[in-house]
Structure 1
Amino acid sequence: MNSSSEISRTALTSAAARAAHLLVDHEPLIFTDTLAQALLGERADELIDYHRKFGDHPVLAGARTEVLCRSRFTEGLLAESGLAQYVIVGAGLDTFALRMHRDADAPRTVYEVDRPASQEWKRHAIEAAGIVPHSAPTFAPADLEHDSLLDALVAAGFDLARPSFVSLLGVSMYLTGSALARVAAELGTLPTGSQVVLDYMLVPSLRDEAGQAYAEAVGAAVAEDGEPWLSFYAPEDLTSIVVGDGFTTVRHVPYESSIDPSLWHRTDALAPMRLSALLHATR
């Protein structure tokens, strides 16, 4: 694989943030992803070196903080749920399925939703890295701005009759509000007991100084890369969408509260900022 043109820049940088955490940050670790570096392949040194050289910069430290916290929060809730179908929307280079052990107490079928080109890139990356997963993910190609999420999942073998856990991390800000509402409506038809976790970018008035500085520094760059942020929300805006679509319980979790408080006793540059928040909804 000599090109990264088929995979989004955000997929690469998110994987680099997870990989770099193990190399540049101090104990206690927030999240351990032992396969992210391998999936980056020939891009690994280049992308991780930014963190090695400039890891204390607010943008890089902020990116690691957001990616690590949302991953720990989501996988913690997934483990507690005991649900056997897990859907990762906008999966990118997520490694959960590759890290999942065959003898786990709660074996799961993992469906990954992403653009076809991204999934093909990931297939080659897994093969090139020599990773032999105990349980490979099932790929469900879709463009959520236009395609039905559930149609794509059913075509991949998803069982609509079974309660499921669904994550949308690093997704909502790249969708229009109408597309996110359509996705929420589809997820609202899942069986009772299903759970959804998503992260969303706060409207500017709800950001703190660090969050606003990050948005100003990064927003223009992601737009130039062809992945502009399209949507920002206040918590009540998303609550009205989700509750109206069949979810009975909705809670919003700021990043500073998304992990055990002891993990914020740090000697590195990782610190929570109010740029984004997490939503956890149950059917």
Structure 2
Amino acid sequence: MQVGQPSRTAMAVARARAYHQVADEPRVFTDPLAVRIIGESGLRADEFDRGIDEDIVRRRRLMIAARSRFADDVVARAVDRGVDQVVILGAGLDTTAYRDTRSRVRYFEVDHPDTQGWKRRRLAETGIEIPPSLTFAPIDFEESTLATGLAEAGLDRTRGAVFVWLGVAMYLTKASIDDTLGYIAGHGDASEVVFDYIYPAAPAADEASARRQARADRVAAAGEPWLSFFTADEIRHTLSTCGFEQVRDRSAAEVLDGYGIRTVMGPADSVVHLIHASKG
């Protein structure tokens, strides 16, 4: 990540969410702010899609949209049960807090100070108001911790919270993932988390494996390499060790199917999984 600029992969995700609003039917995920926050120039093909077959790009875009919809659904159910704190970890250009008009719900966005600074400038430029329910928690993890940053932001550890952590875990070491999940689990019995992870690479040297490796090479070249991979059994063990009792694990393809989107998915499309885990 360049100083004063957002993460390049965060920008790619934001572009996918925005382009989904104008390019895909039926729409998996509706976000009226996505195009505004990314800007017209942001809708152009990004560096990670150049030279890639359009159908593969579309499937990846649908998976990104599906995970956002999945997280929105988890948050909505939690709020209906009375949870009134939502923490977006690695928020990037996420718009959840700006789309939710329920004033009793308090949102916290956690991200690197440079990414948040750029986002706040974009919000001002596009006239998107920062809702009073939102608190920014800029954290440079080389200088601070998640616990310290959220404590300073005012997160109430005595009340329930849902944590949304999308597109981040694969860029962290397993030790950092353990620390984050341990912190979330320590929030109490009413804590829950939504996040995604990537399966280890299959040993087969086929076209799907080559595409996956090409994607990994591109994000690594951008300075944001994938560092951690899990099987379903491994992630369940990690979550159980942290104290999570309920674990719902779905491949991105299964999530799309649950939303009525049936598309031809290759083996490489099933390596991304979505998790919803809770303490009880």
TM-score by length of 2: 0.87
Q: Please tell me the residue identity of whatever aligns with 1:131.
A: I
Q: Which residue number corresponds to residue 153 of structure 1? A: 150
Aligned partners of 2:59, 2:275: CA distance in 1, in Å? 19
Structure 1's unaligned 5+ residue stretches are none
Q: Which residue number corresponds to residue 276 of structure 1? A: 272
Q: Which residue number corresponds to residue 31 of structure 1? A: 29
Q: Which residue number corresponds to residue 218 of structure 1? A: 215
The aligned runs of 1:33-48 (5 Å cut-off) are 33-41=31-39, 43-47=41-45
Structure 2's unaligned 5+ residue stretches are none
Report the CA distance shift for 1:192/1:212 in structure 2 as closer, same or farther (over 3 A). Answer: same
Count of residues paired in the alignment: 274
2:246 is the counterpart of 1:249: yes
- Confirm or deny: 8 A CA contact 1:249 1:282 kept in the other structure: yes
Report the CA distance shift for 1:62/1:35 in structure 2 as closer, same or farther (over 3 A). Answer: same
Q: Please tell me the residue identity of whatever aligns with 1:119.
A: Q
Q: Which residue number corresponds to residue 95 of structure 1? A: 95
Q: Please tell me the residue identity of whatever aligns with 1:23.
A: V
Aligned partners of 2:182, 2:48: CA distance in 1, in Å? 40
Aligned partners of 1:129, 1:16: CA distance in 2, in Å? 16
Query: How far apart are 1:260 and its partner, in Å?
Result: 5.3
TM-score by length of 1: 0.86
Report the CA distance shift for 1:247/1:49 in structure 2 as closer, same or farther (over 3 A). Answer: closer
Q: Which residue number corresponds to residue 111 of structure 1? A: 108
Q: Please tell me the residue identity of whatever aligns with 1:279.
A: I
Report the CA distance shift for 1:93/1:247 in structure 2 as closer, same or farther (over 3 A). Answer: same
The aligned runs of 1:220-235 (5 Å cut-off) are 220-235=217-232
One of 188, 204, 208 as aligned partner of 1:191? 188
Aligned partners of 1:9, 1:94: CA distance in 2, in Å? 14
One of 67, 77, 85 as aligned partner of 2:64? 67
- Confirm or deny: 8 A CA contact 1:253 1:277 kept in the other structure: yes
One of 172, 181, 199 as aligned partner of 1:175? 172
Aligned partners of 1:174, 1:14: CA distance in 2, in Å? 14
- Confirm or deny: 8 A CA contact 2:166 2:196 kept in the other structure: yes
Report the CA distance shift for 1:262/1:197 in structure 2 as closer, same or farther (over 3 A). Answer: closer
Aligned partners of 2:271, 2:161: CA distance in 1, in Å? 28
Q: Please tell me the residue identity of whatever aligns with 1:116.
A: P
1:22-57 CA distances to partner (integer Å, 9 max, x unpaired)? 211122x10011111111236324347998x98962
